[in-house]
């Protein structure tokens, strides 16, 4: 849907801009020459409408395609960092500028860092936007076993003996029971990927094998080597996230941008028997508005 909206914006911008240009170069002089007296020639409705819409649509197109785009969080896979009802801003220029139709990158501006929260086109269905946290960079070795994340960064030196070894990502228990999933109080930990520490959730009883982490072909040991120009991503709600453990890596070409802020957050705590539809918000979580870790 997001890509269709971008295409629609491009079409509207081109059409209204073309009408404005043709009127300025050809139609307006003809109307002026055909006018009699001092009265200004009447501007056709469709030309007037195009002239008013063009700057607005062009501004939205530039803002949405190259600067910031709003997204809504539809699921709990990124809890506790992002909740259902959060509306976020995604910085589109973080990882390169792309044209809004073919999404071809024409200007390099940066690459994801370990720990970034990124929006990307789901590799198995590019019309769907996903949001996850970058865990593995190109060349990294990523291991996830017994709910513990291990990372061996890419070795950039010629001497392999000086390369970093596989190490567990630091994890510190924080709380229990703030979030509940399937009648079980989730465990909250603070994880440190090397940038800003962030919190994750783990289910106390669900196991790796129960979640079929080993079902992905070629990764029965729970170990992945991240290819060049691709990224390994995971949800912060580790036992309720369908991510790279299941479907593989995110190509650089699929990146949309970096999630940088929550601009509004709605609550949807409504009982099924209520007359008001469940999609109508019940309140605003003002304390969640701001930057994203």
How far, in Å, are 118, 119, 241 from residue 78 at the CA level? 11, 12, 8
Determine the Cα–Cα distance for residues 41 and 33; give it in Å rounded to an integer.
9
Q: What is the dihedral of CA 72, 78, 83, 88, to 10 degrees?
A: -40
40: tokens are 């200004």
**Catalytic member of 77, 94, 241, 265:** 77
Q: Judge whether 77 counts as a catalytic residue.
A: yes
∠ at Cα 103 (98, 104), nearest 5°? Answer: 70
Distance of CA 77 to the CA centre of its chain: 13
**Catalytic member of 132, 147, 241, 265:** 132
Nearest to 72, CA basis, from 225, 276, 213, 281? 281
Please state whether beta strands 171-181 and 167-168 pair in parallel, antiparallel, or not at all (unpaired).
Answer: unpaired
37: tokens are 């007296």
Q: Judge whether 105 counts as a catalytic residue.
A: no
How far, in Å, are 222, 224, 275 from residue 281 at the CA level? 40, 41, 13
Nearest to 178, CA basis, from 200, 147, 146? 200
Task: Sort residue 225 into left (φ over 0), alpha (ψ -120 to 50) or beta.
Answer: beta
Would you say 152 and 236 are in contact if contact means Cβ atoms under 8 Å apart?
no
In what side-by-side order are the strands of the sheet with 184-191?
171-181, 184-191, 198-202
Active site residues: 77, 132
């Amino acid at each position: 849907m997001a890509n269709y909206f971008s295409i629609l914006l491009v079409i509207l911008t081109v059409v209204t801009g073309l009408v404005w240009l043709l009127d300025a170069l050809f139609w307006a002089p003809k109307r002026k020459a055909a006018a009699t007296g001092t009265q200004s020639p009447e501007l056709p409705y469709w030309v007037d409408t195009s002239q008013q819409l063009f700057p607005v649509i062009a501004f939205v197109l530039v803002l949405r395609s190259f600067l910031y785009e709003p997204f809504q969080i539809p699921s709990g896979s990124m809890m506790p960092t992002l909740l259902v009802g959060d509306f976020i801003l995604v910085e589109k220029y973080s990882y390169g500028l792309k044209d809004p139709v073919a999404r071809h990158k024409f200007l390099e501006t940066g690459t994801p860092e370990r720990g970034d929260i990124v929006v990307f086109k789901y590799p198995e269905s590019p019309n769907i936007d996903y949001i996850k946290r970058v865990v593995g960079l190109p060349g990294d070795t990523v291991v996830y076993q017994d709910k513990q994340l291990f990372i061996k960064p890419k070795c950039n030196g010629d001497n392999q003996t000086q390369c970093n070894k596989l190490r567990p990502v630091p994890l510190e228990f924080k709380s229990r029971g703030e979030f509940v999933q399937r009648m079980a109080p989730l465990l909250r930990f603070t994880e440190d990927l090397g940038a800003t520490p962030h919190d994750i959730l783990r289910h106390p009883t669900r196991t790796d094998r129960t979640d079929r982490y080993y079902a992905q072909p070629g990764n029965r040991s729970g170990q992945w080597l991240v290819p060049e120009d691709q990224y390994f991503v995971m949800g912060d709600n580790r036992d309720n996230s369908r991510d790279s453990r299941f479907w593989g890596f995110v190509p650089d070409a699929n990146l949309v941008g970096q999630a940088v802020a929550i601009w509004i957050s709605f609550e949807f705590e409504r009982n099924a028997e209520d007359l008001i539809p469940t999609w109508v918000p019940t309140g605003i979580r003002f304390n969640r508005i701001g930057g994203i870790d």
